[in-house]
Structure 1
């Protein structure tokens, strides 16, 4: 966790900001990778801040502006979202391409290593890209110069061992470390007597141990694994419809009626006299615990006060259903040039409406606006995908799933 989330990001960001020591025989002006400085660094930080409304609440804490907070309490989760979620696309065209391609190989590997279940072919590809990243890093940044030797930290050597054997044995180690750290954090949050914190902490620990012992002896004391909130409806397979819900069915627009009737009739020809009314639900909870919202619910919230959670990743084909709009195909050049780490789409609105089964939704993703080609005549608004680190379905290289809004 610390290697991926803290050590390597700290190395790269300090290089790009020219925060390393420079010997008298050298000049920082020759460091062509040092581009995140001055106004460029401030603009980059603001872009990270501007992405927050587009990150669903299920992504937990969004990263702060790194230009203001990176040296004051920036935690590992923020680094994961910032470096491996947002950074592959937002600063595109700022860092010279040879360094950016090298960085994307790292991102490619980390996306795979962060999963709970990894295909053998993916693991082999991730290990290959990680070896390429570390080897190229020395060629690009160190260049076998004695006065640049301090750029090569031990974390780079450790990263080379993130291969099949380490990944197979790693989750148990990481899980134990995470459990200990979270227990310490949770107990610390429960302290309510700052004048006598250690006695208070010991009582909290004792109470938690007693509760755990009772749960182990009397199994029915444990809460249900998938509780249904008030007003929610269990539609099976771990999917829950959650309030709010419209009191009365409403008529739909003609473009919506067309795709709904096509879905219900098995894609038969559209009947112009077909009239349908639907009842909208505000939210859905997925088997992985994420909660997605409908556009209807998010439109009711104050602009800028709601973190968007209506972009979802689906499988394919039962009712209940969702009316969605498909995004375009990903930009092929960006996808191939950066090893499948930059998935850039355009919104198609009403021109790409479809009805899909609720159970076809796999996860909630972020679609963050970006401008990869600022000097071209193409002014189409584009969005790139950010998935929550660690989801089993986060790796998109070997599927052709369609993103929906």
Structure 2
């Protein structure tokens, strides 16, 4: 979450607390009990998030889990509390060192499944992969790749998709430790409808973000003529329509209502522009918004700092 989002949330929460006390407490001493802890704490969430990070990072459950892990490291029963303090200090120093100098952190390739392609900086392409290059590009997909190639200022003479096919990847691992899937990962499984194939992305220089459905991921070498060249990864996405402004404003930027546009808004993006995995679900069939879709973000998915 960004500093601007924390500040906006804080202003809304403080306004809610003030209105609650104005309506129900009315500065009466015999009504103070109406302002319970769950109401009072809302005014502290914003500043404490800025000071300590997201609340779920320092809740009781997180602390109890950490205490359990540290207890397992005690190796001096004769003086357990001193040993526990030293283990806590050592872990804090190691974590701080890796946070300040991530280049020294242990490589994460060992945590990836077999057949993955590590792209660095926390990104990795995950199988399944179409190693035989049997996926045939449609004319709309070819046009989307060509537009991206021109928009990024590349030399069109080196356009590498002269052939009608390419190697597709099903999933990508993000620095937030989430896996973003795609429609390609569900081919052959007609009953599978995973919401994790929907992503939120933001290109450099843009103010707002976009929501899209991923068709597949693919990669190419930065220098196709060099065997040891770095690899770039891309996503073929179908962008959803912009949100309904009236609903978005009325819900204080909470209800994002959109529609799927299919081939009409097909784009190619760099996987580094993906911010998070989101869910897209239809409104109930008996509601006035039946036929439309809405976006939701699971708690804990969008908690890492995004440098754009």
TM-score range, shorter chain: 0.5 to 0.7
- Equivalent residues in 2 for 1:238-277, closer than 5 Å: 238-249=122-133, 250-266=135-151, 275-277=163-165
The TM-score with structure 2 as length reference comes to 0.65
Residue in structure 2 matching 1:332, options 219, 226, 245: 245
Distance 1:225 1:172, change over 3 A: farther
Is the 8 Å Cα contact of residues 298 and 308 (structure 1) preserved in structure 2?
no
Q: Distance in 2 between matches of 1:296 and 1:329?
A: 24
Residues of 2 paired with 1:264 and 1:124: CA distance?
Answer: 38
Rounded Cα–Cα distance in structure 1 between residues aligned with 2:55 and 2:32: 34
Alignment of 1:155 with 2:50, yes or no, is: no
List per-residue Cα deviations over 1:119-143 (Å, max 9, x = no partner). Answer: 2x54443332112111223456678
Determine the structure 1 residue equivalent to 2:120: 236
Shift of 1:267: 7.9
Deviations 1:65-118 (A, max 9, x none): xxxxxxxxxxxxxxxxxxxxxxxxxxxxxxxxxxxxxxxxxxxxxxxxxx4xx5
Residues 344 and 385, structure 1, Cα contact 8 Å, conserved in 2: no
Are 2:191 and 1:308 equivalent residues in the alignment?
no
The 1:389/1:315 distance shift into structure 2, 3 A limit, reads same
Quote how far apart the aligned CAs of 1:155 are: 2.5
- Displacement of 1:366 in angstroms is 1.4
Unmatched 5+ stretches in structure 2: 76-83, 95-104, 205-221, 223-231
- The change in CA–CA distance for 1:167 and 1:140 in structure 2 (over 3 A counts) is same
2:6/2:46 contact within 8 Å kept: yes
Q: Which residue of 2 aligns with 1:391?
A: 302
Residues 27-42 of structure 1: matches in 2 within 5 Å?
Answer: none
| TM alignment of 1:6-405, pairs within 5 A | 115=1, 118-119=2-3, 121-138=4-21, 152-164=35-47, 167-169=50-52, 175=58, 177-183=60-66, 205-206=71-72, 208-209=73-74, 224-225=107-108, 227=110, 228-249=112-133, 250-266=135-151, 275-301=163-189, 303=191, 307-316=194-203, 319-371=232-284, 374-375=287-288, 380-389=291-300, 391-392=302-303
Bigger proportion of residues as helix: 1
Report if aligned partners of 2:282, 2:294 keep a CA contact under 8 Å in 1: yes
Q: Could you tell me how far apart the structure 2 residues matched to 1:394 and 1:366 are? A: 20
Say if 1:235 and 1:336 are closer, same or farther in 2 by CA, change over 3 A.
same
SS in 2 for 1:288: coil
Match of 1:51 in 2: none
CA contact (8 A) 1:257 1:275 kept: no
How many angstroms apart in 1 are the aligned matches of 2:305 and 2:34? 31
Shift of 1:323: 0.7
How much is the aligned-residue C-alpha RMSD, in angstroms? 4.3
SS at match of 2:41: helix
Note closer, same or farther for the CA distance 1:127–1:356 as it changes in structure 2 (3 Å cut): closer
Partners of 2:180 and 2:16 in 1: how far apart? 35
Q: For this pair of structures, how many residues does the alignment match? A: 251
Check whether the contact 2:243–2:256 (CA below 8 A) recurs between aligned residues: yes
Task: Give TM-score, length-normalised by structure 1.
Answer: 0.51
Q: Which runs of 5+ in 1 are unaligned?
A: 1-114, 188-203, 396-400
